[in-house]
Amino acid sequence: MCFGQGKTSKAYEPVYSDENARFLSEYRFDVSKLEPVVAKPHSPDNRALARECKDVKIDRVYVGSCTGGKTEDFLALAKVFLAAGRKVKVPTFIVPATQKVWMDLYSIPVPGAGGKTCSQIFEEAGCDTPASPGCAACLGGPRDTYARMNEPQVCVSTTNRNFPGRMGHKEGQIYLASPYTAAASALTGYVTDPREFLQ
């Protein structure tokens, strides 16, 4: 029915537009023609197609926090790892957004995985053990913050900001991407269009 269902014990009434509502504009997109995009350092506005960045060597992948740490994000990550059937080439950090998401990683079977959960697939792929829910390296934080970039590394991240110092080191380079692109990049060690693994 709606996002709030099952998330609260309080009564609520969903809000919908009127049946004959008029909108300022309406857009239709043929999503089959869209391509995976990344945001290059140091701004979310610095867009490029993932395939245009295929020569960018990376040092790590970070999937999680509030923006990219939902159950659906981790299912997407697992889907690419399953399709590839091989291990990651760079350290890959997993940070669920909430305790519920963390529990989902250990309890929800991934479709097409023979009953395996995300956590099992991540372990088989060589990812770091899923961390406790939270912000972790997304906010930089002190040097001992989980997955913080303490050196000038290149990271593909599913977080929402990539300005200098955001994940730690001020010379770090952060490429913002979808969980699909993050997974593909973890498997190759380069910014990678995930369609290479999903076709």
Q: Is the pLDDT of residue 38 over 90?
A: yes
In this structure, what token pair is assigned to residue 68?
């990219």
The Cβ-side half-sphere exposure at 51, using a 13 Å CA radius, reads 6
pTM flag (> 0.85) = yes
Whole-number Cα distances in Å, 99 to 45, 71, 75, 157: 31, 11, 16, 20
More confident residue, 8 or 183: 183
Confidence tier at 58 by pLDDT (50, 70, 90): very high
Do 92 and 125 touch, CB atoms closer than 8 A?
A: yes
How high is the pLDDT of residue 13? 83
Among 15-24, 62-71, 91-100, 162-171, name the one with the lowest average pLDDT.
Answer: 15-24
How high is the pLDDT of residue 4? 64
Q: How many CB atoms within 10 Å of residue 167?
A: 28
Domains parsed from the chain with CATH numbers: 37-198 (3.30.499.10)
